[in-house]
Homo-oligomer: A and B are copies of this chain.
Amino acid sequence: MMKAKDIQIKEIPLDPEWCRTFVSDVSCGGQVTFTGTVRNHTGDRKVERLEYEAYVPMAMKVLEQIIDRAGERYPIIRCAVHHRLGSLELGTSAVVVAVAAAHRKEAFEACMFIIDELKKDAPIWKKEISPQGDEWVSSRP
């Protein structure tokens, strides 16, 4: 039974340690935290920065549904998903997914499930700003 979940989509820097602390629970043996950061390349393409936008109210709902589905599959106790918007420099955190469960295997699997589903379904878009030209990421042929 999930005790608490926290979903945030925001323009200001993310705080992975806040997420990790939010999901900490004495009934849990551990937390798994994934932090997605802006990488300086995509394949051979050099990346200078990323610009994120979202359909925010729908994204909040989709993320909540994803967390609930994770909770049906895995006995997770607490969960936080934060996503950044706006123009992000290299190395900046774009997304944090933190999960706590009684046992680590389930925490790892739930964390992977949530970030995979987020990337498939959350109405959020990023544009790569690159010397080779700007491009919306998944619209590339």
Please report A residues at the B interface, Cβ cutoff 8 Å: 16-17, 20, 24-41, 90-91, 102, 104-105, 107-108, 111-112, 115
A36 touches B108 (CB 8 A): no
Neighbouring B residues of A41 by C-beta, 8 Å? 27
B33 touches A20 (CB 8 A): yes
A37 to B15, CA, bound (A): 20
Not counting A27-B41, A28-B37, A29-B37, a sample of 14 additional A-B residue pairs whose C-beta atoms are within 8 angstroms of each other reads A17-B17, A17-B20, A25-B91, A26-B37, A26-B38, A26-B40, A27-B39, A30-B34, A31-B34, A31-B37, A32-B34, A104-B112, A105-B112, A108-B112
Interface of A, helix, strand, loop or mixed by DSSP: mixed
In the complex this chain forms, how many copies of it are found? 2
Neighbouring B residues of A91 by C-beta, 8 Å? 24-26
B39 touches A108 (CB 8 A): no
Q: Report the minimum CB–CB distance from A43 to chain B (whole Å).
A: 10
Q: Which of B39, B108, B112 contacts A28 (CB 8 A)?
A: B39
A33 touches B36 (CB 8 A): no
Q: Report the minimum CB–CB distance from A123 to chain B (whole Å).
A: 20
- Enumerate 15 A-B pairs (CB-CB under 8 Å) in ascending A order: A16-B20, A16-B33, A17-B20, A20-B33, A24-B37, A26-B38, A26-B90, A26-B91, A30-B37, A32-B32, A32-B34, A32-B111, A34-B107, A36-B104, A104-B112
